[in-house]
Structure 1
Amino acid sequence: MTTSGGDYTAALPRKRMGSGVLFRDATGRILLVEPTYKDHWELPGGAVERDESPYEAARREVQEELGLSVSPGRLLVVDWVPPQPGRTEGVMFVFDGGVLDAPSTARIRLPADELRGWAWSTLAEAQQRLSPRLARRAAAAHEAAATAGTHYLEDGRR
């Protein structure tokens, strides 16, 4: 359906999107990064740019943040995030990065202007480092990776 002015979809609401990747080590810990511009740690990832798919954003962000060229696996989580003061609503995606071996881990290179560091974290440690919403999302992604499922969340909750 089009209007006399063209494509009606141009007037539909727009949602902010983000895309991240869940990497694990051989013991099941998850890889977190510490941004220079936030109080909490994050999963590797970031904003989906205009005309970019969430999957391509995940690939690009891992390259930019970790210096690793990887093709993430399947989708683990879709999380709708409600609006809050100073932020619009959004849709966040988490893809499976698989298990990083020691040689891959040794190749990690961080952009000093964006990230202070990175660390392997147990889920309990992640609860302390991540924002509450992202901690819930990371736990759901970790569970989905172990069960071959995909989870739909709202505000980090099923």
Structure 2
Amino acid sequence: MTQDFTVTLPRKRMGAGALLTDGQGRVLLVEPTYKDYWEIPGGAVEAGESPLTAVARELKEELGLPVRPGRLLVTDWVPPREGRTEGLMMLFDGGILAPEQTSQIRLPIEELRSWAWSTEREAGERLSELLARRITAALRARADGTALYLENGSVAI
């Protein structure tokens, strides 16, 4: 039996996150215990798991919220860098959280220090430059009813 040629193709890491906002348009960010900057809620897509399933799982694990993400807003190809392979990062529309949902947020203390609502400017101060560009693009895609393809956080086409 011949081997399927696809097993010889390169593998990319994949991550999935959610753009969650409040009624004022502020973005929900989380502060990891293991990084020097804030993050978008979400995480790694596991082997055999779809990105949509991964982001729903991560929102439940990280925030304690059973959120069903909506449409894909951003796909971002991230080039390799020292100590990290290239990857595809997807950002889904997590919707607008009602105050009663927000009051149910429960963080895993070993993974996340805190969470905060952030304006676009505040997000730019809390996030890495790459993640700040990704959030800006996701907000634009949501407002325009589109999806955007990015490379390293910048609109590529």
Q: TM-score, normalised by structure 1?
A: 0.97
Residue of structure 2 equivalent to 1:126: 123
Residue 41 of structure 1 aligns to a residue in which SS? coil
In structure 2, what is the Cα distance between the partners aligned to 1:26 and 1:70? Answer: 16
The answer as to 2:58 corresponding to 1:49 is: no
Alignment of 1:8-23 (within 5 A): 8-23=5-20
Task: Report what 1:148 is aligned to.
Answer: 145
| Secondary structure of the structure 2 residue equivalent to 1:152 | strand
Q: 1:84 maps to which residue?
A: 81
Alpha-carbon distance between aligned partners in 1 of 2:111 and 2:86, rounded to the nearest angstrom: 24
Whole-Å separation in 2 of the counterparts to 1:145 and 1:33:
20
Q: Which residue of 2 aligns with 1:98?
A: 95
Q: Structure 2: any 5+ residue segments left out of the alignment?
A: none
Percentage of pairs with the same residue: 61
Cα distance, 1:143 vs structure 2: 1.0
CA distance in 1, matches of 2:15, 2:2: 31
Deviations 1:106-140 (A, max 9, x none): 00000000000000000000000000000000110
**CA distance in 2: counterparts of 1:120 and 1:5, whole angstroms:** 53
Match of residue 111, structure 1, among 102, 108, 113: 108
Aligned residue for 1:13, secondary structure, equals coil
Structure 1 unaligned spans of 5+ = none
Q: How far off its partner does 1:19 sit?
A: 0.3
By how many angstroms is 1:145 displaced? 1.0
Rounded Cα–Cα distance in structure 1 between residues aligned with 2:6 and 2:139: 35
Q: Structure 2 counterpart of 1:145, which letter?
A: R
Could you tell me how far apart the structure 1 residues matched to 2:16 and 2:118 are? 20
Deviation at 1:24, TM superposition (A): 0.5
The answer as to 2:32 corresponding to 1:35 is yes
Distance in 1, Cα, partners of 2:74 & 2:84? 21
TM-score normalised over the length of structure 2:
0.97
In structure 2, distance between residues paired with 1:5 and 1:37: 44
